[in-house]
Amino acid sequence: MTAAPTSTPYPPATVIQLQVEGLKCGACVQAATRRLKAYPGVLEAVVNLATHQAQVICEADATPDELAGFLTQGGFPSQPLTLDAPNPAGRPALAPSVAWNLSVALVLVLLSGLGHLHHWGIHLPGLSSMAFHAALATLSLLGPGRSILVDGARGWLRGVPTMYSLVGLGLILSYATSWLAVLWPARGWACFFDEPVMITGLMLLGKTLEILAQGRARQALEVLIALQPTTACLLPSPQSGEGWTVPAATVLAGQWVQVLPGEKIPVDGVVVAGRTAVDTSLLTGEALPVPKAEGDEVQAGTLNQAGRIVIQTTHAGAATSLGQIVSWVTTAQLHQIPVQRLVDRVASVFAWGVVALALLTFGFWAGLAPRLGWGLPAAPTLLAIQLAIAVLVVACPCALGLATPTALLVGLTVGARRGLLFRNGAVLERLQGVTTVVFDKTGTLTTGRPQVVATWLPNPPHPAVPTSDALLKLAAACEQGTCHPLAQAIGEAATAPLPPATAHETAAGRGVTAWVAGHQVRVGALDWLGLADWADQEPIITWDRAGQTTLAVEVDGRPAGLVTVADLLRPEAMAVIRDLAQQGLRVRVLSGDRPAAVEALASTLGLPTTAVQGGVLPVEKAAVIAQFQAQGEQVVMVGDGLNDGPALTQADVGMAMASGTDLAVESAQVVLTRNHLADVVTALTLGRATVRTIRWNLGWALAYNLLGLPAAAGVLWPVTGGFLTPGMAAGLMTFSSLSVVLNALSLYRWQTAAAPPGGVNQPLPSCLLM
């Protein structure tokens, strides 16, 4: 798989992605990361708990299979990650196992709950007997609890105890203590065989629900992956009527592919035969089918709705537009943000702290508490064991480990569905603190394509040019064949057919002369045509103040009219500027265009002239942003051109239109694939929503542990006269983990008023198609 471009301090290296199993909590993440970094040649490694994936930067001689085997030997079964299958995790279908696990978990919880009824004087035949509960506890540990015990033991052996290590220790202690009570009844201990059953059932229930929730978090990305066609019909030539089926990923650039109506397009390419309408909503958000004919570009994953077409391939497999979207999102999910690195370090020592607290709890209730004269409800040693078990079980490093990556996973996936490609998760965190948004003008705030906005005819008009339509036709015919943007704008405005033109002559930077329908026509600058004194007259003064460009048209040596051309604002630009200002953000415009044109733009947008600056060179743009940053501002730069590259790199977050130059997109941390300016607001609000969710998750996980651990240790006994049983502790621990994942999933309901109504039919830039 081709990864999205990343900037690293390392020399040329290989990026390997792995699917990793056996990850239970943040401590597992730390253990797997250390194992990967121990492999010879590995420069950096990142492991993600939410996606069960790892990204490794290593020297070129390392292979994915060798690295996966090395990690597997360390206790984390792994395999190279591929994104060309509907199930990227390489897992079997979850439905049967999920149904079975849920059934087993519910039965265990029900039976253990019924076992508690005898405490209230309710005795059920068979279910209240000690033999039944001892047998049920034994079967629970040998059956569904076996994986908890095995995974927990591996954690202890690796020296990195996990959530399962703590719970497994609690299970063994509660089971062993109950047997001691049975074998030595003289000690007067009560049995609690129902506790390991309850703990096992709740653990299994919580983990199964958590898997379902995390699967929901990955679902949107997996849907994208599943939309990638796996086969293509290859043709020997565009004119061939028959072809043969090959894997889509094996198609080479330049080969011809046939796509019939109703089929998904398997490659990126250019239509060389046929006409059709294509549903591009997957990539562009465009609701209506887009007509496609010879010469038009099409993208993999979009749906051919109407006619047979033949495509000449430009990119296939992971290099297609859809493949690169998947690659960007997957790569971004594997990057840790600073707060996650801190949490993982805490999680790596969390289990040892919990074990220490459990030992202190046991020591206090077995040794010191009886001397305080408290009327304890059970034998001190038995009570101390129960509370120590509750401490081990209630601890939840899993909630801490999932708090950040799960929210990032959902946030990045929601962004991809909204046409936002984030280079990494840290970008979402940086968007939280943005104070200033800087825009380029041409191609960003404006459409980047000049258009004719007005014409003027003298009074009386030239005999050969009686109307504005006639003026545009003569000017377009004269300019025919030139590639200047102003000439193209006039050509698009003129109605066809154009009159024939001959004897074209071009004065570089000045204008064009040609013979059109028997008339000598000249189109160019006012001073070139000897009309410099017109610059002080209306409507030219008005056009100039608006930042528009005026061209004069001369026919047979006599002025025939004026044409003004302008790069118009994007329709959504004013609403976007207004939304940003309402959010309390400073808006700035830096442009290489004429200062007059930039100031006219500011007036249209309602910005003060102090907020805009024209005639700015590329390096100067970066220097201005650096000045903002030196003043304590956190800056987003939005651009699309070659000259925006330095500024996009200098900014805290660079955003590039996907229709922009390759350099701009490569320099940006966010790519707006729908080329809609409102997605700037969408990205900012999504970043805030994601970080807010992360903070809620971390706050809940930390508060849960800070309150749950002391409660399990019995600190509330002097006040409440009650204790937290191991079964209750297991229920709280399960609830904590699940609540973190469900809170992250709430991001799927996130909305923004600035979301565009539809996309623009524009493919991803070539730098994303590597």
Query: Running along the chain, 770 residues long, what does each successive block of 10 average in pLDDT?
Result: 38 74 76 87 82 81 86 87 48 57 81 65 66 86 86 78 77 82 71 77 72 59 67 86 85 90 88 85 59 86 85 85 69 62 69 88 86 74 85 76 76 80 79 88 78 81 84 85 74 81 73 84 80 71 72 84 81 87 89 77 82 79 87 88 74 80 67 84 88 86 85 83 76 76 79 44 37
Rounded Cα distance between 209 and 95, Å, is 12
Task: Name residue 458's amino acid.
Answer: P
pLDDT (0 to 100) of residue 767: 37
pLDDT (0 to 100) of residue 176: 83
Tokens found for residue 234: 């290859």
The CA distances from residue 681 to 281, 431, 442, 667, in Å, are 21, 11, 19, 20
Strands of the 297-298 sheet, one edge to the other: 244-247, 231-235, 256-259, 309-315, 268-273, 297-298
pLDDT (0 to 100) of residue 467: 86
Q: Single out the residue of 325, 105, 293, 130 nearest to residue 207, CA to CA.
A: 105
- The residues, ordered by sequence, that sit 6+ positions from 575 with a Cβ below 8 Å of its Cβ are 678, 754
Tokens found for residue 535: 């610059």
Active-site entry in 440, 579, 640, 652: 440
Helix (H) / strand (E) containing 565: strand 558-566
Residue 339 CB burial class (10 angstroms; 0-12, 13-18, ≥19): middle
Question: DSSP of 188-200, one letter per residue?
Answer: -PPP-THHHHHHH
pTM of the model: 0.63
Rounded Cα distance between 164 and 24, Å, is 7
Strands of the 586-590 sheet, one edge to the other: 420-422, 670-672, 653-657, 635-639, 436-439, 586-590, 612-613
Query: Directed axis angle between helix 338-363 and helix 397-417, to 10°?
Result: 160
Phi, psi at residue 181, to the nearest 5°? -65, -35
Q: Single out the residue of 114, 157, 155, 111 nearest to residue 136, CA to CA.
A: 111
The β-bridge relationship of strands 290-292 and 309-315 is unpaired
**Which bin fits 617, alpha (ψ -120 to 50), beta or left (φ > 0)?**
beta
Asked whether 648 and 665 are in contact (CB, 8 A), the reply is no
Whether the CA torsion 443, 448, 454, 455 is positive or negative: it is: positive
Query: Directed axis angle between helix 380-394 and helix 194-226, to 10°?
Result: 0
Asked whether 667 and 649 are in contact (CB, 8 A), the reply is yes
Question: DSSP of 506-529, one letter per residue?
Answer: EETTTEEEEEETTEEEEEE-TTTT
Asked whether 63 and 104 are in contact (CB, 8 A), the reply is no
Query: Directed axis angle between helix 64-73 and helix 26-37, to 10°?
Result: 130
Question: Which residue in the block uniquely carries the two structure tokens 């690295």?
Answer: 67
Rounded Cα distance between 269 and 617, Å, is 36
Q: Is 440 a catalytic residue?
A: yes
Question: For residue 680, how many other CB atoms are within 10 A of its CB?
Answer: 25
Distance between start and end Cα atoms, the chain: 10
- The residues, ordered by sequence, that sit 6+ positions from 219 with a Cβ below 8 Å of its Cβ are none
Whether the CA torsion 640, 643, 645, 647 is positive or negative: it is: negative
Strand, helix or coil at 760?
coil
pLDDT (0 to 100) of residue 380: 83
Strands of the 276-279 sheet, one edge to the other: 290-292, 276-279, 303-304
Tokens found for residue 346: 């805490």
Tokens found for residue 748: 């799927």
In 330-423, beta strands by DSSP E: 420-422
If you count them, how many residues does the chain have? 770
- The residues, ordered by sequence, that sit 6+ positions from 237 with a Cβ below 8 Å of its Cβ are 256
